[in-house]
Amino acid sequence: MLSALLHDDPHAIGPYRLLARLGGGGMGTVYLARTAGGRTVAVKTLHDRLAAQPALRARFRLETDVARVIGGRYGAAVHDADPSAPRPWLATEYVIGPPLDVAVQAGGALPAPAVRVVGAALAEGLARLHRSEAVHRDLKPSNILLTATGPRIIDFGIAQAIGAEQFTQFGDATGTPAFMSPEQAAGLEHGAAGDVFALAGVLVFAASGHGPFGAGGPAELLFRVRYAEPDLGGVDPDLAPVLARCLAKDPANRPTLDELATALGAGEAPPSWVDALPDAVLREIARRAAEVWRTPPDRQPPPPPDAPAPAAAPTAPGPSRRRLLALTGGAALAGAGLTGGGVWAWLANRDTTKDDARKPGKPTATATAAPAKPPARLWTFPIRCPEAYGDVLPTKQGLAVPAGIVLTGVNAESGEGTWQANMGDGWRWASDGTRVYALREHDEGRSLVLGEIDPTSGRLTKPRVDTTDFAGDEARNQLLCVAGGRAYLTARTTSGNRWYLLAVELRTGREHWRRPVDEPGDQYGPPFLGGSVTGENLFLWRKDPYTEAVEVAVHATRDGRQRWSETEGYSSVPPSRVVRDERHVYLCDEAVMARDLSDGALGWLFGENGSRDVGDSAGEERVYGAPTLRDGVLYCTEGDRGVVAVDALTGSLNWLEKDLDGRRLNRDVPPVIGREYLYSLDDQGLRAVDLTTRRAVWTYETDATVLTPDYARERLYVRELRETFALPLA
Amino acid sequence: MHGLQPADPPRVGEYVALARLDAARSPRVPPERRYLARGADGERTVLVSLPAPGADPARWAAEARWANQLNQPGFWPVAELGGTAAFPWHASPYQPALPLTAALTAHGGPLPEGAVRAVGAALAETLASAHVLGITHAGVCPAAVLLTAYGPLLACFGTVRAAAPEGTPRAGLPGVDQECLAPEHLAGAPVDPRGDVYALGAVLAYAATGHAVPERSEIPAGLRPLVSACLSRDPDGRPEPAHILAELAPGAAYGTLTATAEPVSLPGRVVAALATQSANALAAELPTHPTEVR
C-alpha cells in the first residue's frame, strides 16, 4: 500500500514531511506524511501544472469543503487544508480499511446485515452532503473504505454543488460508468437522486459481488445503465425490493436517502458491524492497521544522467475518442487497485491539460503555408456529455445540439444555451433544416406521438401524429427523416412484435402508407442506420445484423415499395451517413462507388483495385473516408494523402490535395466545403484547404468529433467531446 | 491505548510518553509499565517498557539485555535498551498490539474457541522453538501476550526470573501474575520450560473463560483435557509444547504459525480494537512543550 517517493517528489508539503506515496493519478498524488509532532496523515495534492488552472483549483477547493462537510464519521476527518497554496493540499486522517471492491474481492459478497449497515451509514453521510447543497456524483466501491467502525466515503474529486453546472463533466471524470446514474450516463444533471441510484448500485455490488449492470466496456455499461433492468441476482430477498426502487430509471421514482436509511434499518439497534464482516475483510483491516507503521521504502534515486527521460505522452496520433473513454476508465480502475486505505484514486484527465491549446487565438499554423492564420472562435458552448457525437442541427431560430438523450437549444449568435429537453435516443429526432421533430411516448407508452420541438422553449408542440397502433414505449422506434412535409419512421406495433416503415403527413397527421420491415437486429439499436429522401426516393441503409455489411435500399416515397437493395461489404465501421444526389448513391470504402439511384446498378468506381497510388499510410483503415457532396463534386479523404475531389456524374478525378504529409486523416467525419476553403479533420486538428491552391493553409488544433456546416449563417460548428464552438465558414 | 496517569513518567529517555498500553485499572496487573511514546523530533514512535513499580530494576534490566540478544520467532522484539540502573527501559518500534487482557475487554468476554486455538497454537509453537534452544520464557501470562495482525507475540521475557532470586517464594512479587505460576515456581523452584507450559495452560484458560484459574466446567469441552493437562500440579504431567500445538491445530505444519506473512484470523471486535489503536497512534501528536509535563 505504501510505495516509495519518486526522486522528484517534494520533501514537504505545507507543514507535512512526506514519507511515502499512497497513490496517484493524472490529477494529483496522495502521500503519507507527518507533522512535526509526529501525527501521520494522508496529504492529497494537485499537480503543479494543473494547479495553475482556476477551474481545477476551484474544484480542489470544493473537494476540501465537501471533505469537511462529510467529516470523520462518514469520511476522512480533515486535519488541515490549503487550497490556495501554490501547490494546493488537503490533509486528512489516514483511514484504515480496504476499499469495498478490494474487500469483496478478498472475502466475497458481504452478508446482508453488513450491507444494511453500509447502506444506512452511506445514506446518512450522503444526506449530510446533500443538506449542504452538494452531490457526490462518483460513488463507487473503490471510493468507499470499510473500516472497523463502519464505511467511509472518500474521494470527492468530482463532487459538485447542486445546480452548479447543467451537465455532468463526463470528459473530466469518467471512472467506471458501472455505478453512474442513468441521467449522468445521458449527460443530464445528476442530482441528489443520482447519488441514491449510485448508492443502490454500490449496495448491489456489496451484496452480490457484481454491479447491477454487470461489467464491460464503458459504452456498453453506459447503455445498460440507461436502458437495462438492474441485475439483483444474489442480493438478499429482503434487500432487493428497496434497492430495485433506488435503481429506478426515473429519478422521481427513487426513494429519498431518509427513506432508504429507514428501510435499511438505520436507527434500529445497530448490529455489531465488525461481527458481520467476513474474516477476509477483517484481515484486510488488520493488515492496513499494521502496514502503515512499517518503515516506508526509500525514496527512489534519480535516473542516471544518460538515461532517456520518460517519454512524454504522445499527442499524436492520439487514440480515438471512444478509445480514450475506455482508457480513462481503465486508468481509474488501476488507480483504485494501487491505492490502499485513506487514498483517493484520482482519475486520469488527459484533456484538461490541453486546455491552453484549445483556447481561441492559440492555434498552430501548418508547416506548409504559414501566412494564413486560423480564425478565432465566434463562441464556445461548453456542453459535456458522454456521447458528443451527434450533428449540430441548425434550425431557423437557433441550433439544437444533441447531448446523449438530451437535446439542447443554443443561440446561434451568442452560443448560449437556451433550453434542454429530454428526448430519448438520438434516433428519435430529426431535422428538415428548419425545424426539429421528435418521437415521444404518450399515455404511459400506449400511444406514439410525433411532434415538433418548439425552437424557443424546447417543448414538444401539439402532436402532429398520435397513434395507438404503435407502442410509444418502444425505445427503438426511429424517426428516419422529415422531408417534403412528411415524416418517415419505423415503429413497433402495439400488439405483436411487428415492425413497420411508415410515411406520415405532418400537416394532417394522416398515415400515407406502411410497409413491414424486419425487426431490428440489435437488441438496443434502431432498425436503420439512417434515412433520407431525394425526390421520389426514400433512401435507407442498415447494418446487416450478421455481417459487417451495409444494406442500402431505395423505396418509392409514393407508396413505400422497395425499388432495389444492395448489400455492400465494409472493411471497417459502417458509415453513419450515406450521400446521394438525384442520380447516384455514393459509398466510400476500399474504393468510391456510385450506384444508380433508380435501380442500384453500378454507375462508376473510383480508385478500385489499387488503380490509384494512395500511399502506404492507409494501414488497416479504409482507403476512402466519409464523403461530402457539393455542387456535383464528391469530396473525401484518400488514404492519408489528403482530400480528393471526384466528379459525381462521371467518377473522374477533379483534383487531389497537394503537399500534405505526415498526418493521419480522419476517415469518419466528412469534410465541409466552404466558398474558399475545404475543412477536414486529421490528427493535428481542423485543416483548412484552399480550394484554389489545393494546399492546407492553416490548422486549428482540436480533437473534434463532429463538423457541421451552417451555410445560412456562414458558420462551421466544431464539436469536441466537451464543448462545441463556432468558426466562420469561408 | 489509555490516557497517562499522574504517576506515569512524562519522558522515557529521549521519548515522550503519549499513552499507556494498559488501562490504569487493568483486570490483571501487567508485568511491566508499557507506553506508546515518540521521539521529540516526532519521527519515531515506539512501545517502551519499564519494570513494574516495586520490581528490582537491575534484575529486570538483565532480562531485558538477554531479550535484546534473542531473535526468537514469536517473541516481542526488544530493539533498544536505555535508561539508568535505577530507571531502566527498553523500546521497540511501535506496531499495533493488543494485550490479551485488552482483547477480552474489547471482545466483551472470553474469545471463541477457534480464536483460542489459533492463539494457543501460535504460542505453543513459539515456546516449542524456544525450549528446543533451552530458553525458558518465564513470563507467560495474559498481559504478556500481545495480539498483532500477524499473530500473538510473547512480551515480558523473564518476569518471573527477574522478580526474585531462585529459592525465594514468589507469592505477591511485583509484576508476577501469580495465577500463571506453576505450584513449584510459586514455592521458589528455579524456572524451567515446564513452568512455561503451566502458564500457557493458564493463558488458554483465561482466553476461553476470562479466568486463569477457572472451574473445570467453564472450559469449553474441546479444550478441557488439554488445559487440564497443562495445569497439572505435577510438572512431568504437563505436555510438551509440540504436543499442545498438535492438539490445538491438528495437521498444522510446525514453523508456520509464528512470524506469518499474512494477517491471521481474529474476532471482529479484536480487529476493531487493533485498528482503533493504530488510528489513535497515527493521530497522536506530541505535546507542544513536552518538558513542561509533570
Q: What is the 3-state secondary structure (H, E, C) of A419-433?
A: EEEECCCHHHEEECC
**How many domains is chain B built from?**
2
- By CA distance, what is B280's nearest residue in A? A39
Check A39 against B285: CB less than 8 A apart.
yes
Higher pLDDT, A174 or A696: A696
Spatial CA neighbour of A671 closest among A638, A633, A627: A627
Q: Testing the interface with B: which of A73, A80, A275, A283 to mutate, by most B Cβ within 10 A?
A: A283
Residues in B closer than 8 angstroms to A41, CB to CB, are 282
- Nearest 5 degrees, angle CA B117-CA B119-CA B124? 90
Tell me, yes or no, whether A724 lies in a domain.
no
Interface of B with A in 28-87 (CB under 8 A): 38-39, 41-43, 45
C-alpha cell recorded at residue A349: 484527465
The rounded average pLDDT for each run of 10 residues, N- to C-terminus, in chain B (294 residues) is 89 95 82 95 95 94 95 94 95 97 95 96 95 94 97 96 93 92 95 97 97 92 96 96 94 79 93 96 82 38
Same domain for B33 and B102? no
Query: Most A CBs within 10 Å: which of B1, B98, B270, B278, as the mutation test of the A interface?
Result: B278
Q: How many domains does chain A have?
A: 1
* Contact of A153 with A143, CB cutoff 8 Å: yes
Our CA-based measurement puts residue A445 at a distance from the nearest CA of chain B, in whole angstroms, of 52
Q: Is residue A206 part of a domain?
A: yes
Q: Summarize pLDDT for A282-332 with one digit per residue, the tens.
A: 999 999 999 999 988 888 887 666 544 444 333 333 333 333 222 223 233
Report yes or no on B1 lying in a domain. no
Is A35 in Cβ contact with B283 (below 8 Å)?
Answer: no
Mean pLDDT, residues A500-505: 92
CATH number for B138: 1.10.510.10
pLDDT tens across A615-645, in order? Answer: 765 555 678 888 999 888 999 999 888 999 9
Same domain, B129 and B196: yes
Per-position b or e across A249-277, b if 16+ CB within 10 A of its CB: bebeebbebeebbbbbbbeeeeeebbebb
Interchain CB distance below 8 Å, A272 and B269: yes
Task: Check whether residue B44 and residue B181 sit in a common domain.
Answer: no
Cα distance from A577 to chain B (closest Cα, Å)?
59
Contacts of A289 in chain B (CB under 8 A): 96, 149, 271, 274-275, 277-279
Establish if A97 touches chain B: CB-CB under 8 angstroms: yes
Write the DSSP assignment of B35-49 as a string of letters: EEEEETTS--EEEEE
pLDDT the model gives residue A636 = 93
Q: Which residues pair with B2 in a beta bridge?
A: B20
Residue among B268, B19, B23 at smallest CA distance from A150:
B268
Contacts of B284 in chain A (CB under 8 A): 38-39
C-alpha cell at B90: 527498553
Whether residue A293 and residue B268 make contact (CB cut-off 8 A), yes or no, is no
Flag whether A98 is in a domain.
yes
What is the pLDDT confidence band of residue A336, given thresholds at 50, 70 and 90? very low
How is A81-138 classified by DSSP, letter by letter? EETTSSS-EEEEE---S-BHHHHHHHH-SPPHHHHHHHHHHHHHHHHHHHHTTEE---
Say yes or no for a CB contact (<8 Å) between A293 and B45: yes
Domain identity same for B138 and B262: yes
A309 inside domain: no
One domain for residues B109 and B76: no
B7: amino acid identity, one letter: A
Please give the pLDDT value at position B84. Answer: 93
Cell of A192: 441528489
Please check whether residues B121 and B258 belong to one and the same domain: yes
Query: Which of B38, B39, B149 minimises the CB distance to A289?
Result: B149
Interface test with A, best of B95, B282, B285, B286 (most A CBs within 10 A): B282
Q: Does residue B147 sit in the same domain as residue B238?
A: yes
Of A34, A272, A285, the CB nearest to B42: A34
Searching chain B, which residue's CA lies closest to the CA of residue A293? B95
> Measured between beta carbons, which residues in chain B are less than 8 angstroms from residue A96?
275, 278-279
- Find the CB nearest B38 among A38, A273, A277: A38
Predicted pLDDT at A546: 64
Q: How far is CA B100 from the centre of its chain?
A: 8
- The ipTM of this complex is 0.95
**268-287 in B: which are within 8 Å (CB) of A?**
268-269, 271-272, 274-279, 281-286
The distance of A170 to chain B (nearest Cα, Å) reads 36
Same domain, residue pair B109 and B214:
yes
C-alpha cell of residue B105 = 475487554
Parallel/antiparallel/unpaired status of strands B98-99 and A653-656: unpaired
The pairs formed by A236-242 with CB atoms below 8 angstroms and a separation of 24 or more are: A236/A112, A236/A115, A236/A207, A238/A112, A239/A112, A239/A115, A239/A116, A239/A203, A239/A207, A239/A264
Find, among A145, A138, A16, the residue nearest to A81 by Cα: A16
What is the rounded average pLDDT for all residues in chain B?
A: 93
Report the C-alpha gap between B199 and A384 in whole angstroms.
Answer: 70
- Euclidean distance between CA atoms B163 and A406, whole angstroms: 81
Q: What CA–CA distance (Å, rounded) separates B199 from B214?
A: 13
CB atoms within 10 A of CB A414: 13
**Region of residue B206 (left: phi > 0; alpha: psi -120 to 50; beta: else):** alpha
Minimal CA–CA distance to A645: which of A661, A657, A658, A663? A657
Beta bridge partners of A403: A406
pLDDT in tens, A674-695: 989 999 999 899 999 999 899 9
Q: Is B93 on the interface with A (CB under 8 A)?
A: yes
State the residue range of the domain holding A164: 51-77+93-300+319-358
C-alpha distance from A272 to closest chain B C-alpha (Å): 9
> Which amino acid is it at B122?
A
Contact at CB, B282 and A40, closer than 8 angstroms: yes
Q: What is the per-residue pLDDT for B30?
A: 87
- pLDDT, average across residues A465-479: 84
Are B44 and B114 in the same domain? no
Q: What is the pLDDT of residue A159?
A: 52
Residue B49: inside a domain, yes or no? yes
Residue A632, domain member (yes or no): no
Distance of residue B268 Cα from the nearest chain A Cα, in angstroms:
5
Grouping H, G, I as helix, E, B as strand and the rest as coil, residue B185 is: helix
Same domain membership, residue B102 and residue B91: no
CA A643 to chain CA centroid, nearest Å: 29
What is the rounded average pLDDT for all residues in chain A?
Answer: 80
Q: Is A275 on the interface with B (CB under 8 A)?
A: yes
Tell me the C-alpha distance between A392 and B92, whole Å.
69
Cell 468476554 -> residue: B109
**How many A×B Cβ pairs under 8 Å?**
109
Percent of chain A residues past pLDDT 90, beyond the cut: 31
Quote the cell numbers at residue A291: 502496514
Residue B255 structural domain: 98-269
Q: How far is B37 from chain A (nearest CA, A)?
A: 10
pLDDT for A218 equals: 66
Question: What are phi and psi for residue B167, nearest 5 degrees?
Answer: 95, -20
User: Is B149 part of the contact surface with chain A (CB cutoff 8 Å)?
Assistant: yes
Closest alpha carbon to A578 in A609, A611, A600, A559: A600
- N-to-C CA span, chain B: 20
Is A290 close to B148, i.e. CB distance below 8 A? yes
Q: How far is CA A486 from the centre of its chain?
A: 33
**Does A494 fall in a domain?**
no
Question: Which residues in chain A are closer than 8 Å to B17, comparing Cβ atoms?
Answer: none
Q: Are strands A642-647 and A653-656 parallel, antiparallel or unpaired?
A: antiparallel
Q: In this structure, is residue A442 part of a structural domain? A: no
Residue of B nearest to A40 (CA): B282
pLDDT digits (tens, 9 = 90+) for A444-453: 777 888 888 8
Kindly report the CA angle at A620 between A615 and A621, in degrees rounded to 5?
80
Cross-chain residue pair B269–A274, CB shorter than 8 Å: yes
Give the three cell numbers for residue A701.
488544433
By Cβ distance, the residue of A40, A148, A292 closest to B271 is A148
CB–CB contact A284 B262 (8 Å): no
**This model's pTM is above 0.90:** no
**Which A residues 19-48 touch B at CB under 8 Å?**
34-41
Give the range among A231-240, A277-286, A514-523 with minimum mean pLDDT: A514-523
> Does B136 reach chain A within 8 Å, measured CB to CB?
no
Interchain contact, B286 vs A275, CB within 8 Å: no
Backbone Cα Rg of chain A:
28
Question: In this predicted structure, which of A368-372, A497-501, A593-597 has the lowest mean pLDDT?
Answer: A368-372
Question: Does a structural domain hold residue B176?
Answer: yes
CA-angle at B94, arms to A97 and A31, nearest 5°: 50
B42: nearest CB among A37, A289, A295: A37
- What chain A residue is nearest to B97 in terms of C-alpha separation? A290
Please indicate if any CB of chain B lies within 8 Å of the CB of A285. Answer: yes
Q: Is residue A484 part of a domain?
A: no
C-alpha cell at B178: 501469580
pLDDT digits (tens, 9 = 90+) for A43-98: 999 887 778 778 778 888 888 888 898 888 899 999 999 999 989 999 999 999 99
Q: What is d(CA B99, CA A148) in angstroms, rounded to the nearest whole number?
A: 18
Here the CATH number for the domain that contains residue A280 is 1.10.510.10
Asked whether residue A424 carries a pLDDT value surpassing 90, the answer given is: no
Side-chain-side CA neighbours of residue A481 (13 Å)? 17
Pair B135, B20 in one domain: no
Q: What is the pLDDT of residue A573?
A: 63
For residue A317, whether the previous peptide bond is cis, meaning omega lies within 30 degrees of 0, is yes
Contact A716, A729 (CB under 8 A): yes
Which phi and psi angles does A26 have, rounded to 5°?
Answer: -70, -20
pLDDT in tens, A159-176: 555 444 433 333 333 345
* Domain match, B19 and B122 both: no
CB contact under 8 A, B286 and A34: no
CA–CA gap between residue A263 and residue A260 (Å, rounded): 5
Task: Read off the amino acid at residue A711.
Answer: Y
Q: For chain B, percent helix, then strand, then coil, each to nearest 5?
A: 40, 15, 45
Question: Is B95 within 8 Å of A293 when comparing Cβ atoms?
Answer: yes
Give the cell for residue A464. 402532429
Chain A's closest residue to B273, CA to CA, is A148
- Do A590 and A608 contact (CB within 8 A), yes or no? yes
Q: Per the CB < 8 Å rule, is B282 touching A35? A: no
CATH number at B288 reads 3.30.200.20
